[in-house]
Amino acid sequence: MSDSSSRVRRGFSLIELIITIVLVAIIGAAAGRMLMSQTRFYARLAGQRDARSVTRNARNIIQTELAMVEAGGGVAAASNSSITVRMPYAWGVFCSGNTIMRLPVDSAMYAMATIAGYAIKDTTATGAFTYTATTSAPTAGTATNCTTTAGITAPVNGDYLALSPAVTLPALSGAGAPMYLYQTITYSFAASGLVSGKRGLFRQVGAGTAEEILAPFDTTAKFRFYELASTTAQTTVPALANIRGVELVLDAQSPKRASNRDTPEASSIRTAIFFRNRVD
């Protein structure tokens, strides 16, 4: 018999096996902790992105509309949790009688609007708007009230509209006085129907159903107000006619909470929006 056939084949000893198992366990535990840490890290990043998305989308939606509000009387109601504004959706000029010449406007926006009234500008130095509330939709106006009586002709895609009740002119205003039709829009923070136990941002047109457009928000989300002749926002609601702008305090949260966090990720934006035609 050869020497090779007489040698005994050796395996792992018990000590070597134990050392191997311990090393694998240590490496596995470290890898597990690293994987868990990375998973939680990315969960937090996703939560922060969600919270920032809520604040930015809310700012963009509200800013687009509130920037169109007229400074002298565009606010119909206000509190720290809600604001109702008179939002223009069609512009024109006064002719005579109860007829206005309407300028071209986006047909979809015009068709979807719910009229709440109209406003006419005093053409004296004050430039103040006088508001008339009405739910009566404009009807076809008498063209000659504009073309013949007032010498005003509608441009292409413009129109002549009759308003009800009839227009009451401010002092010293006459043919050619700027006018607009408006609808009321309410933004409010209230209990969310999308995220349980949180607050949502709602948008309501006229007396219609309030639609929740974004959530969730913290209880600290609110509206603050700029009073006339002031550059500092205040929590106290001024007289409505003196509100010249709004500060949006958008304290949003992520809809989900990371497994190692007591609270959801949060994001906060403060944005100042000053109304159109502000002069004081």
The separation between CA 280 and the C-alpha centre of its own chain, rounded to angstroms, equals 25
The separation between CA 83 and the C-alpha centre of its own chain, rounded to angstroms, equals 12
* Virtual torsion, Cα 158, 162, 167, 172, nearest 10 deg: 40
pTM of the model: 0.82
216-272: pLDDT as tens digits: 999 999 999 999 888 899 999 999 999 999 999 999 888 877 777 778 888 888 999
Output the pLDDT for position 14.
75
Locate the domains of the chain by residue range: 83-183
**DSSP-derived secondary structure for 101-114:** EEPP--HHHHHH--
- The b/e string for 55-76 (b: 16+ C-beta within 10 A; e otherwise) is bbebbeebeeebebbbbbbbbb
Q: What percent of the chain has pLDDT over 90?
A: 52
Contact 246, 221 (CB under 8 A): no
Residue 3 clears pLDDT 60, i.e. is over it = no
In the chain, DSSP finds a helix count (H) and a strand count (E) of: 4, 13
Look up residue 232 and give its amino acid: T
